[in-house]
Structure 1
Amino acid sequence: MIEAIENGTLYQGILRINRRTRTDSYVTSDDLEYDIYIQGLRDRNRALEGDMVAVRLLNVDTIWDRKKYKDSQKNQNQSSEDKNGCNVGIEIETDDEDNVDKNKPKLCGQVVGILHRMEGQQYTGTLNIDRHVGPSSDSKEKDDDDDTNDEPGPITPNNNHIRLLWLRPTDKRAPFIAIPVSHAPDDFLKDPSKYKNEIFAAKATRWPIDSQFPFGKLMSDIGPLGEMAVEAESILANNNIQDTDFSSKALNALPKTPWTIPEKEYKTRRDLRSERIFTIDPETAKDLDDALHITRLENQQYEVGVHIADVSYFLKRNTQLDVEAKDRGTSTYLVDRVIPMLPSLLCEQLCSLNPGVERLAFSVIWKMDSAGNILDTWFGRTIIKSCAKLAYDDAQSVIDKNDLPTTAKVVDHSVASVEQDILDLHKLSLCMRKRRYENGALSMNSIKLSFKLDDDGEPEKVWVYQLKEANRLIEEFMLRANMSVAEKICEHYPGEAMLRRHEPPIERRLDEFISVAQSLGYYIDGSTSGTLQASFDAIESEDVKYVLRILAIKPMRRAKYFCVGSFDDTSKYLHFALNVPMYTHFTSPIRRYADVIVHRQLESILQGKDECGYQKKTVQSIALQCNRKKDGAKNAQEQSGHLYLSRYLARISQTDGPIIRDAIVLQVNSDVFDLLVPDYGLESRVYMDAMPLERFHYDTDDNSLVVFWKEDGVMNMDTVGKIREINKATNDKIDNAAEKEQNIPESDSALSNKSPKGHQGFDHCHLETSNRMQKFKTFTKFKVLIQVNTERTPPINNIYPVNPFLKK
């Protein structure tokens, strides 16, 4: 396979599986402009999510015809089952991240082998006698609103003949795993229902070429579904995150305490202990790995320094501690705690740039003019002594022309001088930020939630986190430090430097977004990050801009670490969002292993070495490991937020009653619309066949859905399944939109009430009380009911439009 990849007959890349339609998967190869579509389980050849695979390209027309034939057969079978009264759970089609039903792919292929698989991957799920459990077990996927519980398989009077059980994974992208019955609890076969809500963790151990599913073993019984600790442990297991103590061998690599800086370091490092250096971090931060200083020079110039904890001084190459730090790859930030990449002695003490103590640092120091233009750059190892640990709110107080709060303690320097430094840094950061966006940078921030927990660890408050000028001040100088270091290591080690790139958006998804925006009357130029940003800036309404930015996130890819020697074309180094030719991570070595590698490469440069100490293949391997671990940590962080939000919503629904919130329509199709609940950053899809309607109409002229509510129509967790059955039984189906349109009286004035395209701001719901008519189109604002299904793992936040015509 390696030989074939090198001669271009095979391509290597990372496999990702569609969450909704598990038979569809994709491979992203650095050597190809488009993703490779893999149709079906056979062509996937036992590869799992995140595997590095070798792929052979196939004829696109052949694969596409095969897919369409299989889809038509599936639809015919579905229609037959529906007529016989079977299979009332309907198949849900979505525009999930890689739905190719509407668009023929540019490339198709088959996996011929697995080059690298993540070690130690576990999967959590429920244990069943029969793989075919409940209505969701067949090839069709249930909507998140379908709350039918999975029941155990058939129980015979004597189950002693059973040799294998099935782990049904929580992650829909993972395969069912065949588990020897000897691994199950002793009484499992006697009473399977006792364990129907028990969460187990399993690992796939072998997957024969002639088997549709892998064989595996149970690793642990995590506990009952719905308990916070159990759900949290499931998140860690599914994302392959190590939550274990460091080994004694690793801890033996740490210096003995109390520890002081050796005398020789004072002789070889630049002494910055007298400089007014301080940190600005989140209020609860313990691992302080970056600090700043600014000094006014003559001719309206400044010296500005970014000082980063010198982790590589303590973390020596190839030690057991280094091996375990690489295995972890990154710190994982959950709602209630942090799972660190390094032992707490390093994270919170010896490396953390705490105030009033001398610390080893790696520094980037610039000479800048009054507009933040760099005139000169110095890199080196230093000794610093921070004078203050400031929170973002502390710095923001100064930026807002107030004093530092009295809770912000400053040592060895005056409070007034620190306040002036913050103002000087802020002034420069504004110039740098303005210039960065003028040069084509793109701002795409998704909604991030913050939580306040009570003494029992339960969420008592949740809010959308707002970035302030203090956050942007730090961001600007950290970005600039990362760029400066990237330029330095790439210049010296053009075959081995560890950089970070951000590929352009997925073209198909971007084109779909641009088309949607254009149908709404907004011109979006997606040719570069700069033109995309300019298109957003040209929109006057902040509300419209907000919605379009949410939609524009979907085509974006995640940034990845890479070794520069992997590409002959330097244009591949581009970071799309930042619009810079090269970028890396240098500023957080306490919590990212990639930064440790970059520190070591920079250290080799400063020592005058021709080689950085790493071969190209080693850097490639480390980059792959860091990418996987960073993705896992990010997924775990998002899932932890989802878990705590679900817990919060479930609690307040019990104490305060039904949760009714404002929602905004993001996008409308012929039979569904997508919505966002801004208060919680929740997105969901509403299907017409799940709404209690007399009828509905899709207006192609202004891309809106006009619905006519039943007089007593209520949509919630208890009714949605029944509504679907009724709608099917009466043939009031989504795909009969044309027939429904003929039944709508011409006197329904709402259908001719077209909203002008390009309108500025939100429409509140267009209501017509006489016939209980409601109109949904992009930017429409309306009320929804939020209900949490805690009987599923992970819990599901169901969102339902509220019937505005109900009398109570």
Structure 2
Amino acid sequence: MCTPDKDKYRDISAAKLKRKDSSKSLLLSNGDLKPEKFKYSPKTKTDILCNGKSKQDCDCSGIHGSYHLADEASTSTSFKEENSSFYSRQHLSPICTGKGRYMQKNKSEKANFPRTCFRPHWPSFEIEKALEEGEAFRCTIRVNAHFRAEGYVTIEGVPIDVLIDGLEAQNRSIEGDVVAVIINNVSKWTRLKGGTAKQSCSDQGNGLDDTCRIELLDTEAGRSSDEEQTCTQEQRTEGASESITASEDAQVVSDASSLVEHLSLVEETKMTHLQKGSVQSDLADDSLSNISHKAYQRLIRNIALHPDKRPTGKVVGILEKSDRRQSVVGFLEVYSRPGNKCRSEISKSQFFDESYAIFLVPCDTKLPKMVIHVDALPSNLRDRYYAGDTTFESELVAACIKCWEAESNYPVAEISHSLGQGGEIEANLAAILFEHAVHSAEFPPSVLKCIPDLPWTIPVDEYMNRKDLTCFRVFTIDPPTARDLDDALSIQRLANGLLRVGVHIADVSYFVHPETELDKEAQLRSTSVYLIQSVVPMLPRPLCEELCSLNPGVDRLTLSIMWDLDENWQVVDHWIGRTIINSCCKLSYDHAQNIISGKSSLNSDGMIESQTQDIDFPKLYGNFKWADVVDDIKTLHEIARRRRDARFEAGALSLQNSRLIFDLNEDGIPNGSSVYEHQDSNFLVEEFMLLANMTAAKVIAGAFPDCALLRRHPEPNTRKLKELEDFCSKNGLEISAVSSGALHESLHKLCEDHREDPAMQSILMLYATKPMQLAKYFSTGEIRNEQEWAHYALATPFYTHFTSPIRRYPDIVVHRTLLAAIEAENVLLGPSNEGNPVDGSTSPVRCFTGPCLDKLTVQSCDGQRALASAALKHKVPGSQDLALLAEHCNRRKLASRNVRDASDKVYLWAMLKKKKGIFSEARVLALGPKFVSLYVNEIAMERRVYYEDTDGLGIEWCSNTCTAILDLLHFKTSRKERQGRGRPLAEVAYLVNPAYCMDDLVDKDNQLAETDLDDERGLENEECCGENKMPEPAVLPLTLRLLAPVPTYVFATGGNGRPLDIGVRLYVSSYFQQ
């Protein structure tokens, strides 16, 4: 058993050397020794700014000066420890403060020779030249949330990400900035996993644990509920994530005007780009130049010659600043107050004045700590600051980054408004919406003027110009709380023996006219944002819930796709056009599932009854019978099941990642949670939505090959896919990833082999998701190679979003493009060729919208004129404008998903806070000498436990077997010796003594007592338990190995001056525990 050197536990006073004795040394947290002249006091924060009065006193060490700060790089589980300590465990800053400044330099020397902390950015003309010549690459930087000094960029066509190692190399860039990067010489490249060079936190072990945040590969197949309960195949395949919101009328914004200004500022540049074409050519030229020069080829060659190394680089300029700079949320930290002598009086009096005494610590660990000018605070916060308000530092605030000079270690930020106390759910929901620039304000009057007054009826002309399907038996299937019903289904048997299946989508484009204020607002929002209890809609509620929603018993305008299927359920023909429907009933997924499972029956009156007491069927409108509706649903289910099986046989891939749903009380506080289970009724709807999206994509790509808005899903990351295969091989799991179909088949077999182990099934899906890349909207004119249009997970050459125009702006664009194709077809062939879906006849001649595209007609002069005229009439965007619009929609879609996941996390936090924590089994996902990454079954989430430098805990790491043995040290150290040297044992383990009766630890309500996370005595005397059966604690010494089960204690942390988070500790027992 490896144990720490007892010599290192000598009295800490030995490390507090007298300044006059320069021969003594300071013992750092990593065990290294540094001369006393490098020592500084963590309380003395003098290197905040190196301008104005402070610039002369900032003693940075030149261009290679300090940047390794704990608040920017620490991986400690304690937020305050991470962000208030002024040196990290990894590095010691050479900046000197207080009396610990470099004593050999006097003030006059420092005044004459000011030093910078970062290299100056290259001039713009030099960057442009470097990009053109291939010396530099245009990339978007990503930052490791666990270790901010570690950044990555992806260069198009390069098989491995480039490491931007250190804050100096990042050169004042932040998460999401588009930067110019130059590649270092091979001698400066780092080794990949297992190498001897400096590694990332996640590289210092084994398992599949990404160093950077896994991007959410959200490409929903067709639809979601208002709470996004329905996780469609596209979502399941392309994304797994860690998963806020108040009631609909509880929008927490303390300063509405400042929020509007913030949102306008965030979107100003984006929407300007949508109106200008010059930017596109610049983007395209840069992209082409990056790939076409010798430097790119040399990089590829060096990577091939050094497969064990990762390229490294450094930022030489910021080309486009990230939107995150305008959307910072965090807590304030005060290091000096007027008249407060105990807050480092030396630092206040000698090195900076009171206007530089406040820091902003972002909730997002990818962002750096920031400096706040007290004089620039909003008046209410400034008054509270001067009044010494004790809740000042627990207030969540919204801010933006104003500047970051080369002479400063920190950017300067400005507070716009307060969001509320950090421990309140509503304040955190408001913070999440602000952080992701979600337009949650009410729609302005100029937008509402574009909407018809209620009550509204369909004009007579529309009945003349559309197919009247009001006599069809049409119904919707949605979650029970859905109010924006944008799709409906129908099925009928034709006289020729074929089945006609219809998907009917709300005709939002009828109400949202191009270039109107309503259209501009919808384009700006791009997507509805779904929260647990509410939704921030893309369109005003009169449209979402009334005029466009396919509510039962009323006529509604729709755009329909209808397929004729043969006896093998194969499509033999289809028709697309504008229609009018009248839904006969609004079914929920549970209603449909009840029918599919045979748990419902018809009574003597022909009414449907459920065998389950908690399901009541809705009212049936029109002259229809429940027996016919039941037959329709069963037939649709059988068709969907057959087509689903055929799709997977053809190579499609489905990854069903677990997701929590919450049971809320009357006050909106979660009482409990469960993992959402997908039912056959979900798959029924999903399959036909997929078919509609594929059909629409094929039509618009054929008619408008240069300006169709499609959605592509690239093949997985090759290196990560190989890691998946190697990992499975080492753990006795057979998997093949040669194609999407092979991956699906092998995963399906593994899940069948582990059908009694849901946790293992979830882990397999989580692992398989990590190599997947982000699916994106794109303009077909932007990517000329049609093979790159394909969707990997769905195994289809054409895919788009057509089925949810109420909540997604891209669907509206696709509708307009489809209508332009129909218009051009009618001009060429006449409206009589539309066919008649009512009587069952179809037209054999449909050059643009039929099953087979007539390429000769498309390429003919008449065809081109008809298409161009129709595109102009329906305002179909050109290729360049569409490319920018696609990029905007991609950003907003990802932001929407991030908001949803963050809201889930807030509600999970509230549930754990209410329950005082829960116990759960977990599985080891990744393992190293410093941490273990666990998949916690009860919360369907991956969490880390850092055990390095833990007081009283010994770790023995065996790299050959990839195991770690944890045990208590059997000698004790005093509190004085432990102070400042490591994390408390209580932060790592929930430790109990088996000699005590566990019944004594549980109270009558089976709830946990309040947890003091800062108490070094641990939690051994706290009461505990979750809803499920409490797992037995592991026995020390504890051996950790990959995929091994581990009992854990899951709890809520943060809230008062710290971001909300979900903490996990190992649940262990030992007789040595008192």
- Give 1:257 deviation, angstroms: 1.6
Aligned to 1:537: 748
- Contact kept in structure 2, 1:765 and 1:775, CA below 8 Å: no
Q: Distance in 1 between matches of 2:445 and 2:561?
A: 35
- Matches of 1:32 and 1:193, distance apart in 2: 52
How far residue 668 of structure 1 moved from its aligned partner, in angstroms, is 3.6
Q: CA deviation at 1:610?
A: 2.1
Counterpart AA for 1:292: L
Tell me how far apart the structure 1 counterparts of residues 345 and 703 of structure 2 sit (CA, whole Å).
66
Cα distance in 2 between the residues matched to 1:269 and 1:664: 57
Q: Within 5 Å, which residues of 2 pair with 1:122-521?
A: 122-129=327-334, 161-164=353-356, 165-184=358-377, 185-187=381-383, 188-189=385-386, 191=388, 194-208=391-405, 213-298=410-495, 300-403=497-600, 404=608, 405=610, 406-412=616-622, 413-521=624-732
2:823 aligned residue: 607
Q: 1:252 Cα deviation (Å)? A: 0.8
Distance in 2, matches of 1:328 and 1:704, equals 49
Cα distance in 2 for partners of 1:766, 1:667 equals: 22
What one-letter code is carried by the residue in structure 2 that aligns with 1:170?
A: C
Tell me the secondary structure at the aligned position of residue 565 of structure 1.
coil
Q: CA shift at 1:799, angstroms?
A: 1.3
- After superposition, what is the alpha-carbon deviation per residue over 1:253-280, rounded to whole angstroms, capped at 9, x for unaligned? 1112211111111111111111111110
Aligned counterparts of 1:129 and 1:67: Cα–Cα separation in 2: 40
Q: Which amino acid aligns with 2:881?
A: T
Q: Does 1:98 align with 2:295?
A: no
Q: Corresponding residue for 2:780? A: 564
The 1:569/1:768 distance shift into structure 2, 3 A limit, reads closer
Match of 1:619 in 2: 882
Letter in 2 for 1:381: R
Amino acid at match of 1:610: L
From 778, 795, 798, the equivalent of 2:1060 is 795
Distance in 1, matches of 2:343 and 2:586, equals 55
Structure 2 counterpart of 1:134: none
CA RMSD of aligned residues (A): 3.7
Residue of 620, 625, 636 corresponding to 2:899 = 636
Q: Secondary structure at the match of 1:610?
A: helix
Structure label with greater radius of gyration: 2
Change (3 A) 1:427 1:108: farther
Q: Distance in 1 between matches of 2:595 and 2:483?
A: 23
Distance 2:912 2:348 in 1: 43
Return the letter of the residue paired with 2:635. Answer: D
Q: Tell me the amino acid that sits aligned with residue 801 of structure 1.
A: L
The 3 A distance-change label for structure 1 pair 698 and 39 is closer
2:811 is the counterpart of 1:595: yes
The answer to whether the 8 Å contact 2:487/2:506 transfers is: yes
Which moves more between the two structures, 676-685 or 103-112?
A: 103-112
Tell me, what secondary structure is at the counterpart of 1:163? helix
Deviation string for 1:357-386 (max 9, x for gaps)? 111111111111233321112111111111
| Structure 1 counterpart of 2:882, one-letter code | V
Cα offsets for 1:273-320 (capped at 9, x unmatched): 111111101111111011111112246521011111111111111111
Query: CA, structure 1 residues 153+225, in 2 after alignment: closer, same or farther (shift >3 Å)?
Result: farther
Residues 1:58 and 2:152 aligned together: no
Aligned-pair CA distance for 1:152: 8.0
1:443–1:577 Cα contact (<8 Å) kept: yes
Q: For residues 86-125 of structure 1, what are the alpha-carbon distances to aligned partners after superposition, in whole Å with 9 as ceiling and x for unaligned?
A: xxxx99978444399x963357564644247449831111
Identity of aligned residues (%): 33
Change over 3 Å in CA distance of 1:74–1:502 after alignment to 2: closer
In structure 2, what is the equivalent of residue 733 of structure 1?
none
Distance 1:117 1:683, change over 3 A: closer
Contact residue 1033 and residue 1068 of structure 2 kept, 8 A? no
Aligned residues: 726
Distance 2:733 2:443 in 1: 54
In the TM superposition, residue 525 of structure 1 has moved relative to its aligned partner by: 1.9
SS at match of 2:527: coil
1:145 is aligned to none
Out of 314, 326, 334, the position equivalent to 1:121 is: 326
Contact 1:662-1:782 within 8 A present in 2 as well = yes
Worse-superposed segment, 557-566 or 358-367: 557-566
Most deviating of 632-641 and 553-562: 553-562
Shift of 1:462: 1.3
Instruction: Answer yes or no: is the 8 Å Cα contact 2:141–2:179 preserved in 1.
Output: no
Give the equivalent residue in structure 2 for 1:682.
941
Report the counterpart of residue 1044 of structure 2 in structure 1.
Answer: 780
Shift of 1:246: 0.7
CA distance in 1, matches of 2:599, 2:971: 56
Contact 2:190-2:197 within 8 A present in 1 as well: no
Give the number of the structure whose residues are more often strand, by fraction. 1
Q: CA, structure 1 residues 675+400, in 2 after alignment: closer, same or farther (shift >3 Å)?
A: same
SS in 1 for 2:382: coil
Q: 1:469 to 1:431 in 2, by over 3 A?
A: same
Shift of 1:780: 2.7
The answer as to whether partners of 2:1033 and 2:1067 remain within 8 angstroms in 1 is no
Partners of 2:791 and 2:689 in 1: how far apart? 15
Given the superposition, is the C-alpha separation of residues 355 and 73 from structure 1 closer, same or farther in structure 2, using an over 3 Å criterion?
A: closer
Q: Distance in 1 between matches of 2:454 and 2:580?
A: 19
* Letter paired with 1:570: E
The secondary structure found in structure 2 opposite 1:321 is helix
Which letter maps to 1:580? T
Shifted more, 54-63 versus 375-384: the winner is 54-63
- TM-score using structure 1 length: 0.82
Distance 1:34 1:682, change over 3 A: closer
> 2:795 matched to which residue of 1?
579
Cα gap change, 1:44 to 1:673, in 2 (>3 Å): closer
1:18, 1:96 within 8 Å by CA — same for their partners in 2?
no
Tell me the secondary structure at the aligned position of residue 515 of structure 2: coil
Residues 128 and 153 in structure 1, CA contact (< 8 A), matched pair in contact too: no
CA distance in 1, matches of 2:930, 2:405: 42
Which structure carries more relative contact order (alpha carbon 8 Å, separation 6+)?
Answer: 2
Matches of 1:720 and 1:361 in 2, distance apart?
Answer: 69
Q: SS of the residue aligned with 1:689?
A: coil
Q: 2-side partners of 1:153 and 1:379: how far apart? A: 73
Which of 644, 664, 682 lines up with 2:923 in the alignment?
Answer: 664
The residue type equivalent to 1:16 in the other structure is R
Is residue 152 of structure 2 the alignment partner of residue 26 of structure 1? yes
What SS does structure 1 have at the residue aligned with 2:585? strand
